[in-house]
Amino acid sequence: MEEKKVLFSAIQPSGILTIGNYLGALKNFRRLQSDYRSIFSLADLHTLTVRQDPAVLKKNTYELAALYLACGINPEESVLFAQSHVSAHAELTWILNTVCYPGELSRMTQFKDKSAKHEDNINMGLMDYPVLMAADILLYQTELVPIGADQKQHLELARDLAERFNNRFGETFKIPEGYIGKSAARVMSLAEPERKMSKSDANLNAFISMNDDTDTIMRKFKRAVTDSGDKIIASADKPGITNLLTIYCAFTDKPLSEAEKEFDGKGYGEFKTAVGEAVAAVVDPIRCEKNRILADKEYIDGVLKDGAERAERLAYKTLAKVYKKVGLLPRRRG
């Protein structure tokens, strides 16, 4: 029997996720954990590249852990842990820094974008973020990494560093491949459908968060921007309607052609109500389950402790090999 491939994914606990994050990542994780040896991390170290309120970061980390579980991640089947609980992530980052070049990091699009947004806090962590991400991936001999378009550049660096290390010190790391899910729906802002939906949008009506209840979801969809004309079809000159159709199809698993036929001859009001109901039917039960799990911090702590122990065993197996290759003395345990 062929051994399952290793899949690794990490999400930052930097605030409640939107339905875009859910469709792009969490919705698929439940299925992926059956098909792959899945390792899921709460990337709390990555959040520190921008200033954090410690109490809020702690709250967000619990929230994200509970959301993973509410979305169907089985901690007995998959590994779920906080990145900061496995020190091998930081240790491998240092080693990888010695085979990474400053020019590679300064050219990263995300570094340029975040530097522009946080001019008062352009720190080395912000620049070194992709090396830590490479360490996250390479520690587990990862073969597949679910990624969005904004992470392709970082995955390429992880591949380059793995190949460079292997060429210099001998075969050590597997070279990871990007995994793009079949239902990679691109969810846009409800207020400005030319822009991607974002949880940091100042306009709370522009996004649906995984914390929104049914009434809030329905209200936001009723206020969603539409286009001129009265036809409910997807087209380049109808970004608002196209976005709502994309969301409807993603939450009902219906093909676009079927959705267009379903709403043929119907008004925008009826259409927006149907989209809201489809989203609420999925999001509200997850929200309720997340809140139930969140009430039991002891359970979450236990899941993360067990996950960190399992992750650590895998991570230190790789790190021990790395240390040996570069000439560091082996760590004696016990």
Name the residues annotated as catalytic: 114, 196, 199
297 CB contacts (<8 Å, ≥6 apart)? 62
Please spell the DSSP secondary structure of 87-116, one letter per residue.
Answer: THHHHHHHHHHTT--HHHHHT-HHHHHHHH
Q: Which two tokens stand for residue 64?
A: 């994200």
E-state strands within the chain:
6-11, 37-42, 79-82, 144-146, 177-179
Beta bridge partners of 81: 41
- How long, in residues, is the chain? 334
DSSP3 helix / strand / coil % (the chain, rounded to 5): 60, 10, 35
For residues 88-104, one letter each, b for 16 or more C-beta atoms within 10 angstroms of the residue's C-beta and e for the rest, the string is: bbebbbebbbebbeeee
CB 227 within 8 A of CB 237: yes
Spatial separation of the C-alpha atoms in residues 165 and 171, rounded to whole Å: 8
**Exposure pattern of 257-278 as b/e (b: 16+ CB <10 Å)?**
eebbeebeeeebeebbebbbbb
